[in-house]
């Protein structure tokens, strides 16, 4: 099997991809190696734990031609692990059409023994009209079919062929492109040319592109081209990208840009080096800035690689702990454009598929966006369709003690209201019927304050609609709502239809006074 998933959270997956030169763990950052002018040693990349690298087949062809065929790409760049080759699509984007034909490039990638190969594509970039983007997509699809026909009839090497998904911000093109490549039999998908999007921090458009691709092709591994910014990595992984490549470590270094967990800064504008990598720990800013040109670029590139390594490991650890939502949320606060993308997570149904039904740790509910985390949506669906024969109901704020049925409040209420259905409520997960109040995460969540406030129904629309659904599924003759500040806001905004409704303001001794 090409791809084996071991753990997942949201659409992020810890898995393994198998190639002819060995397997590597995902999510993986795949550093770009320049086949001719690479200055950071590949041994260094290996030492940092980058198990796979990517290089450009087109430049390799131009520079080495027949020698590359004889030696193979592994000897040529001195790396014995999995090597991915980009066909040269990026060169198409930068310099217009290139000379080589799709089948010629594909045959070359096969001949140099690339492990993960991309057919010659025509990147849509960003900002093209629909008609032009569609033409590029069609051309890429034709190339991809031609490539696959050639490889099927001509190769006995077990390389992974990757379908290049184009279409950019035209999401229906992304969807069509992904569907066709999937049906052709490509084992892995790659989302093309987001470089311009990323340079302008258009994370929301990127998020929609990944979301569209991922909901079209669920299980195959997904590569994202050109994503090497510390803020892009958690976003891309959470939405379903398994691998991503970039030359950012080097490009930023040449531009004097120093990566940190939340972005980049110009090296000469820094006062302190907060990074703990072996380069920064041994130097002050002044020394770093005054290094000789090539040495400075080399050290800066290596520092940048340490930052990328740390970012990927942090994301993986977050997947293992079931805290990817929290992690992306933290990152989102580093840039308004990333927050904009994070807010779109509420629309992505596919995030539920990878989120475990049970986690070892309690999940955190901090602010209104957290009502959309998959664990909460899933639970609200179960709770709001709960049916009972009881005709009377008491709604009570969720307690500190979980599950609700083990709380003192519940025991006191059940003595006073023995023929009532007793439910807790929680702004993030809605109405919680006591009988099933131990379903994850009803009893496994932490709220920043239990007495939540409510400004208007736009803040917690999921709560309002699940309360409405719950009440309309069951026809209660008698409704008692013990309302905290949050619930008082909710009921003042909505109409509840029942024979008898009592809304009582919450206080610490409320049960005694009922
Ligand atoms: Zn450093």
Query: What digits encode the pLDDT tens for the residues 260-313?
Result: 999 999 999 999 999 999 999 999 999 999 999 999 999 999 999 999 999 999
pLDDT attached to residue 149: 94
pLDDT attached to residue 101: 85
Grade residue 125 by pLDDT with cuts at 50, 70 and 90: confident
pLDDT attached to residue 452: 66
Grade residue 95 by pLDDT with cuts at 50, 70 and 90: low
Distance 160 CA to ligand 1 centre (A): 34
Distance 217 CA to ligand 1 centre (A): 37
Distance 301 CA to ligand 1 centre (A): 10
pTM of the entire predicted model? 0.94
Query: Residue 44 pLDDT more than 60?
Result: yes
Query: Residue 228 pLDDT more than 90?
Result: yes
Distance 259 CA to ligand 1 centre (A): 8
For domain 3-353, give the CATH number: 3.20.20.105
233-268 tens-digit pLDDT: 999 999 999 999 999 999 999 999 999 999 999 999
Grade residue 92 by pLDDT with cuts at 50, 70 and 90: low
Location of each CATH 3.40.50.10630 domain in the chain:
372-513
How many beta carbons lie within 10 A of that of residue 217, not counting itself? 21
pLDDT attached to residue 195: 82
- Considering Cα of 307, then 309, then 312, then 314, what sign does the dihedral take? negative
What superfamily would CATH give domain 372-513?
Uracil-DNA glycosylase-like (3.40.50.10630)
**Please, is 342 exposed, middle or buried when counting C-beta atoms within 10 Å of its C-beta (0-12, 13-18, 19+)?**
buried
Distance 293 CA to ligand 1 centre (A): 18
Weakest mean pLDDT among 39-48, 130-139, 174-183, 464-473: 464-473
- Give the residue-averaged pLDDT of 323-344: 97
Distance 320 CA to ligand 1 centre (A): 25
pLDDT, greater one: 484 or 84: 84
Query: Residue 49 pLDDT more than 90?
Result: yes
- Give the residue-averaged pLDDT of 463-470: 92
pLDDT attached to residue 310: 98
pLDDT attached to residue 451: 60
Distance, CA of 429 to CA of 402 (rounded, Å): 14
pLDDT attached to residue 496: 82
Distance 141 CA to ligand 1 centre (A): 42
pLDDT attached to residue 385: 82
Residue 485 CA from chain centroid, whole number = 35
Of 9, 86, 298, 459, which one is the catalytic site residue? 86
Query: Residue 193 pLDDT more than 80?
Result: no
pLDDT attached to residue 97: 63
- Give the residue-averaged pLDDT of 36-46: 94
Distance 31 CA to ligand 1 centre (A): 17
Grade residue 477 by pLDDT with cuts at 50, 70 and 90: very high
pLDDT attached to residue 186: 97
Q: What are phi and psi of 393, to 5 degrees?
A: -140, 140
Active site residue 41: no
422-456 tens-digit pLDDT: 999 999 999 999 999 999 999 999 886 656 677 67
Query: Residue 93 pLDDT more than 90?
Result: no
435 DSSP assignment: G
Location of each CATH 3.20.20.105 domain in the chain:
3-353
Q: What is the mean pLDDT of the chain?
A: 93
> Which residues lie near ion ligand 1 (Cβ < 5 Å)?
275, 277, 279-280, 303
pLDDT attached to residue 473: 85
Closest CA to 351 of 331, 369, 367, 333: 369
Distance 9 CA to ligand 1 centre (A): 29
Peptide bond into 260 cis (omega under 30): no
Distance 40 CA to ligand 1 centre (A): 15
In our burial notation (b when 16+ CB lie closer than 10 A, e otherwise), range 6-35 reads eebbbbbbbbbbbbebebbbbbbbbbbbeb
Report CA-CA distances (Å) from 377 to 207, 427, 443, 465, 467.
Answer: 20, 12, 15, 12, 13
Grade residue 94 by pLDDT with cuts at 50, 70 and 90: low
Grade residue 96 by pLDDT with cuts at 50, 70 and 90: low
Q: Which residues contact 422 (CB under 8 A, 6 or more apart)?
A: 393, 394, 396, 410, 413, 414, 434
Which pair of tokens denotes residue 187? 């084992």
pLDDT, greater one: 485 or 220: 220
Angle between helical axes of 293-321 and 324-332 (0-180°, round to 10): 140
360-405 tens-digit pLDDT: 989 999 889 999 999 999 999 999 888 899 999 999 999 888 899 9
What is 176-187 written as a DSSP string?
HHHHHHHHHT-S
């Amino acid at each position: 099997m090409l791809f084996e998933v071991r753990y997942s959270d949201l659409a992020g997956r810890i898995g393994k991809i198998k190639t002819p030169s060995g397997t590597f763990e995902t999510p993986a950052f795949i550093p770009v190696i320049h086949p001719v002018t690479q200055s950071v040693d590949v041994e260094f990349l290996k030492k940092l734990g980058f198990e796979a690298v990517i290089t450009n087949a087109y430049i390799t062809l131009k520079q080495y031609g027949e020698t590359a065929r004889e030696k193979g790409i592994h000897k040529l760049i001195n790396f014995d692990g999995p090597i991915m080759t980009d066909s040269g699509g990026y060169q198409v984007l930068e310099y217009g059409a290139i000379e080589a034909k799709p089948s010629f490039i594909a045959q070359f990638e096969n001949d140099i023994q690339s492990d993960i190969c991309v057919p010659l594509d025509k990147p849509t970039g960003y900002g093209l009209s629909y008609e032009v983007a569609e033409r590029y997509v069609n051309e890429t699809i034709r190339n991809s079919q031609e490539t696959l026909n050639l490889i099927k009839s001509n190769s006995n090497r077990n390389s992974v062929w990757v379908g290049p998904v184009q279409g950019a911000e035209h999401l229906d093109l992304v969807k069509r492109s992904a569907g066709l490549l999937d049906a052709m039999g490509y084992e892995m998908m790659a989302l093309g040319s987001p470089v311009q999007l990323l340079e302008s921090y258009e994370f929301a458009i990127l998020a929609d592109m990944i979301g569209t691709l991922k909901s079209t092709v669920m299980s195959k591994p997904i590569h994202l081209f050109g994503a090497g910014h510390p803020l892009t990595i958690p976003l891309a992984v959470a939405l379903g990208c398994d691998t991503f490549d970039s030359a950012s470590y080097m490009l930023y270094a040449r531009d004097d840009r120093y990566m940190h967990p939340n972005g980049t800064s110009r090296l000469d504008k820094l006062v302190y080096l907060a990074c703990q990598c072996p380069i920064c720990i041994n130097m002050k800013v002044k020394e770093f800035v005054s290094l000789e040109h090539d040495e400075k670029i080399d050290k800066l590139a290596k520092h940048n690689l340490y930052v990328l390594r740390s970012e990927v490991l942090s994301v993986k650890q977050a997947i293992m702990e079931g805290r990817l939502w929290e992690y992306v949320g933290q990152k989102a606060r580093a840039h308004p454009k990333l927050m904009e993308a994070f807010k779109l997570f509420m629309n992505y149904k596919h995030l539920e598929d990878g989120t475990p039904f049970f986690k070892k740790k309690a999940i955190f509910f901090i602010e209104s966006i957290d009502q959309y985390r998959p664990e909460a949506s899933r639970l609200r669906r179960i709770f709001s369709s709960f049916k009972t024969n009881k005709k009377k109901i008491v709604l009570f704020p969720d307690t500190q003690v979980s599950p609700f049925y083990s709380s003192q409040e519940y025991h006191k209420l059940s003595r006073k209201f023995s023929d009532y259905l007793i439910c807790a409520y929680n702004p993030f997960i809605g109405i919680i019927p006591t009988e099933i109040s131990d379903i994850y995460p009803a009893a496994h969540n932490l709220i920043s304050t239990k007495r939540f406030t409510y400004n208007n129904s736009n803040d917690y629309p999921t709560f309002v609609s699940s309360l409405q659904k719950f009440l309309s599924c069951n026809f209660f003759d008698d409704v008692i709502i013990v309302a905290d500040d949050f619930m008082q806001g909710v009921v003042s905004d909505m109409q509840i239809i029942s024979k008898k409704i009592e809304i009582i303001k919450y206080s610490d001794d409320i049960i005694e006074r009922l």
